[in-house]
Amino acid sequence: MSSHIPIGRKVTLNDIAAGCGVSRATVSLVLRGSPLVNKLTRARVEEELRRQGYVYNRAAANLRRRTSTSIALVLNDLANPFFAEFAAGVDEALAAAGFVTLLGCTGESPAREQAVLGSLLEHGPAGIILSPAEHSRAADVLAAVGRRAPLLLFNRELGGALPEFAHWDQLMLDNQHGARLATEHLLERGHRRIAFFGGHHDSSSCRQRHAGYAEAMRGAGLRTEPHWRIECAPTRLDAAHHTPALFAGAFAPTAAVCYNDAVALGLMLGLNQRGLRPGHDFALTGFDDIAEAALGMPPLTTLSAAPRERGGQAAELVLERLQQPQAASRQTVAPVRLIVRESSCPPPIT
Amino acid sequence: MSSHIPIGRKVTLNDIAAGCGVSRATVSLVLRGSPLVNKLTRARVEEELRRQGYVYNRAAANLRRRTSTSIALVLNDLANPFFAEFAAGVDEALAAAGFVTLLGCTGESPAREQAVLGSLLEHGPAGIILSPAEHSRAADVLAAVGRRAPLLLFNRELGGALPEFAHWDQLMLDNQHGARLATEHLLERGHRRIAFFGGHHDSSSCRQRHAGYAEAMRGAGLRTEPHWRIECAPTRLDAAHHTPALFAGAFAPTAAVCYNDAVALGLMLGLNQRGLRPGHDFALTGFDDIAEAALGMPPLTTLSAAPRERGGQAAELVLERLQQPQAASRQTVAPVRLIVRESSCPPPIT
DNA sequence: CTGAAAGCGCTTACAG
DNA sequence: CTGAAAGCGCTTACAG
């Protein structure tokens, strides 16, 4: 059980009612802007509210009315700028709708996710926006949340699908289309030997991006080599380490579609170590458009998901769900935009 | 007034009590872990809680007990990685203490800050952590918050000091010391003509950093030239634009202590445009250690405030205040660490 | 147009 | 060790 912090004496409806000689009910009606109240009574009450510095106790009101004015936002990694932007977008849209954001971070741990969901649910959010931790399972989330609040899944799918899945809304990035755009862009530049670099195949976003890449390659009538698909952790460091594998076989690629920007920046490091100049001798693209992407050497061609707008969209989606609890669940796919920068050069002339 | 969202029928203490033939009071005692309850009764109740999928209604409990288990976190800019890290640190520490984070973003607007504080206060947080919007005034914050919850001020001071100020705790970065460290580091490298570049003098953090720079220069017995103090907006772009001003007079500087990393990165661009190689022909330092700092060309010597740890510290400070509402207010200054990278080269040999 | 009364889901003395 | 009763700060039919 959590600690308990006593609150100082606060001004309540009783104080206001007593202060201007009306009943609690009348004060309540004034607060809620009811047209039933006499103008003069209203003015007197409003003056008294100001005078005593009254603050509405929304928790009490919510209890009585059996409503909620909060939405839980559960994120796998707030320190990641992508999710920070997303959170800012969520909070802005929720605030505009009169809701408050209950924040919870899981640090990519399914166990912490369970704890965070449990704790936030005790505060009775009207809905939940969840960007799941890496290996979070559908069954566990379902057990924690049940039917207590509608859930919107953002960015990642959960492991181990379930029948109840159908009840959850989803907002996903168009990973497949994005990777296809990047691949087609490199094809247009004249590349034929294009690798797909980084990420792990057990991540749904990685599979989707790879599918988009494969689709574009097939569409161009091109075959791919096994060593054009290098898996590695989605970090700069691991990407740099795995760079040599790209050049291990015959038909070395002249370009790579990278799982994300971090991987692309790491590949740049790895290329430099081999004496290859990214953006001159080798072309590459990222995914996410993190702040560093525009500053890389060279600046990185990448895909932007406009995380702040996604946040606003996620907020809209849960709020709509609250209006229509029974409507069929919605699977929304957010568009992704190609941002062309210097890193996606034409192939070197051989 | 905000919208209202009806909540579905939930399992309450009454359902549990009825379900296993005890009174509500007994169930409550079980929930709160009271030793007064018979072991068998406890086991029966716990089984029933599980069976019905009971979720504790903390809002109702808080209302009855007149307690609160939430802390409001009000940030000027969550999209800024520094504050995102800070927020992650706050949330982690609060969660560990059984508290929940009520998030609010102001987007650097004092007007939105007022609205956000008002809205969050209606949810009855036990305390508030506020990183104020740029031109937020003490009087306005006081009017919004009053004595309804203890406030911890983070990162920036408020405009227009007030007697009541003394009631607020503060957690500030050691800006002055940090800038002094950077300046002394450049002095040790052999620089004598060192500029202070970027930021606006009406920002308290900028004044403090400039004071640290001036202190180090005085300490070394060095005078400074007027054109060694260039003001500009704390953005990359504006910094790049203002670069020529550094070289407008006689005694051009060989190094610059920059207001922050964004400014330093902008100055790098500006130097490149003049044909000067940062880290070779000109030395510079930043402030913040943003992710791009380590990746700059060259990597940027800078100061780290360890934002995530600051978040944990801020959470500790408010939680301590809740235990001791009457204790004298505390002004905490968080240390800042110099991170030496290639940008702070020795002066060119002339 | 205003007030008295009941109740949201919990907790907490107080009896027994 | 357990239960009946009152009350946290609100809202909402229902009278008048």
Does residue A4 lie in a domain region? no
Could you say which of B66, B84, B295 has the minimum Cβ distance to residue A6? B66
Does residue B130 lie in a domain region? yes
Same domain, A202 and A290: yes
Same domain, B185 and B300: yes
Determine the average pLDDT of the residues in A61-71.
95
- Residue B7: pLDDT over 70: no
Q: Which nucleotide is nearest to A54 (CA to C1')?
A: D9
**Positions of chain D reached by protein Cβ under 7 A:** 1-5, 7-13
Q: Which tokens in the block code for residue A218?
A: 């097939």
Q: For residues B187 and A162, what is the distance between their CA atoms, to the nearest angstrom?
A: 64
Residue of B nearest to A79 (CA): B85
Does residue B141 lie in a domain region? yes
What's the CATH code of the domain at A260? 3.40.50.2300
> Residue A160: which pLDDT band, with cuts at 50, 70 and 90?
confident
Identify the CA nearest to B105 among candidates A113, A119, A105, A311: A311
Instruction: Verify whether the Cβ–Cβ distance A79 to B100 is below 8 Å.
Output: no
- Taking only the tens place, the pLDDT of each residue in B51-90 is 999 999 999 999 999 999 999 999 999 988 899 999 999 9
Q: Which nucleotide is nearest to A7 (CA to C1')?
A: D8
Containing H/E element for A116? helix A110-121
- Return the SS3 of A301: strand
> Residue B345: which pLDDT band, with cuts at 50, 70 and 90?
very high
Residue of B nearest to A97 (CA): B2
Q: Which residue has the higher pLDDT, B84 or A326?
A: B84
Same domain, B199 and B181: yes
Q: Which of A158-162, B53-57, B101-105, B160-164 has the highest mean pLDDT?
A: B101-105
Does residue A345 lie in a domain region? no
Same domain, B238 and B160: no
- Taking only the tens place, the pLDDT of each residue in A290-321 is 888 887 778 999 999 999 999 999 999 999 99
pLDDT of residue A138: 92
Whose tokens are 């068998």? That residue is: B40
- Other CB atoms within a 10 A radius of the CB of residue A158 amount to 23
- Taking only the tens place, the pLDDT of each residue in B300-335 is 999 999 999 999 999 999 999 999 988 999 999 999
Containing H/E element for B258? strand B255-258
Same domain, A182 and A272: yes
Could you say which of B5, B73, B88 has the minimum Cβ distance to residue A322? B5
On the question of a cis peptide bond just before residue B298, with omega within 30 degrees of 0, the verdict is yes
Does residue B206 lie in a domain region? yes
DSSP letter at A155 equals S
Same domain, A291 and A187: yes
Q: For residues B349 and A260, what is the distance between their CA atoms, to the nearest angstrom?
A: 42
- Conformational region of residue B21, where left means phi above 0, alpha means psi within -120 to 50, and beta covers everything else: left
Same domain, A162 and A182: no
Could you say which of B84, B91, B121 has the minimum Cβ distance to residue A104? B91
CA distance A222 to chain B (A): 35
| Protein-to-nucleotide distance from the CA of B293 to the C1' of D13, whole angstroms | 64
Does residue A62 lie in a domain region? no
- Residue A62: pLDDT over 60: yes
- Residue B193: pLDDT over 80: yes
CA distance B226 to chain A (A): 31
Q: For residues B323 and A258, what is the distance between their CA atoms, to the nearest angstrom?
A: 51
- Taking only the tens place, the pLDDT of each residue in A242-292 is 999 999 988 999 999 999 999 999 999 899 989 999 999 999 999 999 888
- Residue B166: pLDDT over 70: no
Does residue B227 lie in a domain region? yes
Same domain, B26 and B78: no
Same domain, B43 and B150: no
Same domain, A322 and A301: no
- Residue B8: pLDDT over 70: no
Same domain, A185 and A208: yes
- Domains in chain A, number: 3
Domain that holds residue B93: 70-173+307-334
pLDDT of residue A33: 84
- Taking only the tens place, the pLDDT of each residue in A76-118 is 999 888 999 999 999 999 999 999 999 999 999 999 999 999 9
On the question of a cis peptide bond just before residue B234, with omega within 30 degrees of 0, the verdict is no
What's the CATH code of the domain at B31? 1.10.260.40
- What's the angle, vertex CA B34, arms to CA B31 and CA B40, rounded to 5? 80
| Arithmetic mean of pLDDT over chain B | 92
Does residue A349 lie in a domain region? no
Determine the average pLDDT of the residues in B108-135.
96
| Arithmetic mean of pLDDT over chain A | 92
State how beta strands A100-105 and A70-75 pair. Answer: parallel
pLDDT of residue B151: 96
Same domain, A202 and A282: yes
pLDDT of residue B36: 82
A5: CB within 7 A of chain C nucleic strand: no
CB B254 within 8 A of CB B193: yes
